[in-house]
Amino acid sequence: MSVVESLQKSAVASLTALFGQSFTEKDFQVNQTKPEFEGDYTIVLFSLVKSLKLSPDAIGTKLGDHLVENNPLLFTKYNIISGFLNLTVADAYWMDILSKHHNDESFGKLALNGKKVMVEYSSPNTNKPLHLGHLRNNFLGWSVAEIFKASGYEVIKSCIVNDRGIHICKSMIAWQKWGNGETPESTGTKGDHFVGDYYVKFEQELKRQSVDLIAKENNNDFAHYTEEEKNKVIELSTLKSRLLSDNNDKNKEKIIKLDDDITEIRRSATDIMKEAKQMLFDWEAGKPEVIALWAKMNSWVYSGFDITYKTIGSDFNKTYYESNTYLLGKKIVAEGLQKNVFIKEEDNSVWIDLTADGLDKKIVQRKDGTSVYITQDIGLAQQKYEEYGIDQSIYVIGDEQNYHMKVLKLIAEKLQLPNAENIYHLSYGMVELPTGKMKSREGTVVDADDIVEEMEKVAQEKTEELGKVKDFTAEELAALYHTIGLGALKFFLLRVDPKKKMIFNPEESIDFHGFTGPFIQFNHARIKSILRKSADVNGESIVVSSESSVGNSFLPLEKELVVALEQYPTIVTQACSEMNPSAIAIYVYHIAKTFSSFYTEHSIANAETEEKKQLRLQLAAMTANVIKSGMNLMGVEVPERM
């Protein structure tokens, strides 16, 4: 039980005893005492005034006296300032925390609670390599899964690979046209990069053909369109002309939307896009040569993905493939029709009307009977539950899919799918570079492999500037640069609240000073060096004895550090409930910064007394363990030396 939980429990007992009323922890708020006031934790009294009909200070005096008198091992004194009861926790309590947990590597982790959670993340397309956006997704999903594990849940890490659809057909068409039989092996190219290059070639040719169609349309030639497409383009173009003639800035967004709609119709009418659509049709029809090419090119991509996942430390317990799941949900659609959840239109398409729920109508099955994305997602949601009996299903998906995920959960609830109410969309903001947004079609996306390689180079440059690794072997240096570079990348992408968009700057992320992974890694390595230097005469690393007498008082910076360390289990629980690894990142940085301040002021090896030395060694050991544990929850390794 944390000191806050003990305080809450004691306060409830004292209030009940003093005033003869029933209270709970929700009736008052507990905060850490502000630095300018004496005390460790503060009870905010204002919420109690109405029910007790006393002034805040009168309540505080009674409560403070009762808490100190009845909990002498926990509280030593109190003070009241403007309705805030500031309590000082006994040094003996903090000594006990150090004694019990300074060598406890499992500190902060809870016992299994019998609940299962599935975290789905990564979800790549097989037409391109993983990119910077995928890195935030992978790091976020992996970290949330580990935080849930530390909080007592059984966790299944899952991935859905988008291995079918028009995107992979684009790469296949391009390879057929311009590949000349080359392979990743023959060109020395990583498989996912190889296939991604052909996707870009397709898009370049598609753009060229689209320009040709614009020229035809300018000459009033619309022969490339169906009658329906032609009428739609003319309608949209006419509306655009009207808006342009208004010369009103308020129309800008509408004009951009009209341009996008026209562009998509035009792209769809190009010869090369028609070829891709035909290939998709042939794939769904099971045409052998198309299936064989699809399997071959996907195998190239998977081999590339495997290398990247190993490099970044991402793993999965279960991988789903869209080629196996795209037919899921059709049975559910039929059942939904019988339950009147869905509506069949005259053209045989199936829809759900969500307008009463503040959304709109959504198609769940095309008129030709084929599935759409939401259909297979519904089916997969049920399959996940049937396979694993999960209590919660977490989807780590970018915020551009917020609407899709609202629809998925709402449909699942209306269909009364098992555990539908526990579908959760962990929405996160996009990652941009200082130069702006990345675009797959133009080939301006930054590959994950390139980012990791660049981070390792920057780590090497920054480390060599410090000049403290001259005794490292070449192999040790390579491992160190990878640890620092990848750690900087992960920490930088995870330190921001997932809901926020962010700009990734490699140079900023790898600074050895400030709110960065390398700063924390450096402080961990420094602590391990301190502990090694305190080794006994046999050269064995010191293990601080729990039986050691460590004195009975703390200096301010010692107290600040142990108070912060004691909060680690609470921070892990908070990060789990919020599904927010940035809470861990902020906390671990605070621990590293607090230790740095403490170590600048107080010597460990040359402490004033042996008792002080032992106390500070315990503080150092517990700090190292908490830093390592917290960083590991984010997938960041901490070196023993650097």
Q: Kindly state whether residues 414 and 278 are assigned to the same domain.
A: yes
- Return the H-helix or E-strand segment holding 134: helix 132-150
Q: What's the pLDDT tens digit per position in 182-214?
A: 999 999 999 999 999 999 999 999 999 999 999
Q: Kindly state whether residues 156 and 58 are assigned to the same domain.
A: no
The DSSP string of 242-275 is HHHHHT-GGGHHHHHHHHHHHHHHHHHHSHHHHH
More confident residue, 445 or 227: 227
514 within some domain: no
CA angle 193–195–198, rounded 5-degree value: 110
Rounded CA gap, 252 and 401, in Å?
Answer: 24
Q: Is the pTM of this model over 0.85?
A: yes
Tell me the CA end-to-end span of the chain in Å, nearest whole number.
36
Q: What share of the chain is helix, strand, coil (3-state, %, to 5)?
A: 60, 10, 30
Q: What's the pLDDT tens digit per position in 624-641?
A: 999 999 999 999 999 999
Mean pLDDT of the region 27-38: 94
Q: What's the pLDDT tens digit per position in 450-488?
A: 999 999 999 999 888 888 888 899 999 999 999 999 999
Q: Kindly state whether residues 301 and 416 are assigned to the same domain.
A: yes
408 within some domain: yes
63 within some domain: yes
399 within some domain: yes
Domain count within the chain: 2
Q: Kindly state whether residues 66 and 143 are assigned to the same domain.
A: no
Which of 352-356, 532-536, 611-615 has the lowest average pLDDT? 532-536
238 within some domain: yes
pLDDT band at 537 (very low <50, low <70, confident <90, very high): very low
Q: What is the pLDDT of residue 307?
A: 97
Q: Among all chains, which residue has been given the structure tokens 């400030």? A: 514
Q: What is the pLDDT of residue 31?
A: 95
Mean pLDDT of the region 401-410: 96
Nearest to 579 by CA among 445, 422, 437: 422
Q: Kindly state whether residues 132 and 276 are assigned to the same domain.
A: yes
DSSP class of residue 125 equals B
Q: Kindly state whether residues 83 and 122 are assigned to the same domain.
A: no
Q: What is the pLDDT of residue 466?
A: 82
Residue 302 pLDDT exceeds 90: yes
Mean pLDDT of the region 525-530: 96
The domain boundary residue, chosen from 405, 432, 459 = 432
Q: What percent of the chain has pLDDT over 90?
A: 82
pLDDT band at 326 (very low <50, low <70, confident <90, very high): confident
Q: Kindly state whether residues 143 and 276 are assigned to the same domain.
A: yes
Residue 437 pLDDT exceeds 80: no
pLDDT band at 358 (very low <50, low <70, confident <90, very high): very high
603 within some domain: no
The domain boundary residue, chosen from 401, 432, 463 = 432
The domain boundary residue, chosen from 379, 397, 432 = 432
Q: Kindly state whether residues 142 and 62 are assigned to the same domain.
A: no
Which pair of structure tokens corresponds to residue 27? 């009736």
Could you tell me whether strands 116-120 and 154-161 are parallel, antiparallel, or unpaired per DSSP bridges? parallel
Q: What's the pLDDT tens digit per position in 579-614?
A: 999 999 999 999 999 999 999 999 999 999 999 999
Rounded CA gap, 545 and 147, in Å?
Answer: 30
Q: Kindly state whether residues 209 and 295 are assigned to the same domain.
A: yes
276 within some domain: yes
Rounded CA gap, 124 and 130, in Å?
Answer: 7
Q: Kindly state whether residues 256 and 397 are assigned to the same domain.
A: yes
pLDDT band at 444 (very low <50, low <70, confident <90, very high): low
CATH number at residue 52: 3.30.1360.70
Tell me the pLDDT of the chain averaged across its residues.
Answer: 92
Which pair of structure tokens corresponds to residue 516? 């960065």
pLDDT band at 436 (very low <50, low <70, confident <90, very high): low
Q: Kindly state whether residues 309 and 412 are assigned to the same domain.
A: yes
SS3 state of residue 102: coil
CATH number at residue 279: 3.40.50.620
pLDDT band at 442 (very low <50, low <70, confident <90, very high): very low
Provide the domain limits for residue 64: 3-89
SS3 state of residue 237: helix
Mean pLDDT of the region 165-176: 96
Q: Kindly state whether residues 140 and 250 are assigned to the same domain.
A: yes
Q: What is the pLDDT of residue 552?
A: 57
597 within some domain: no
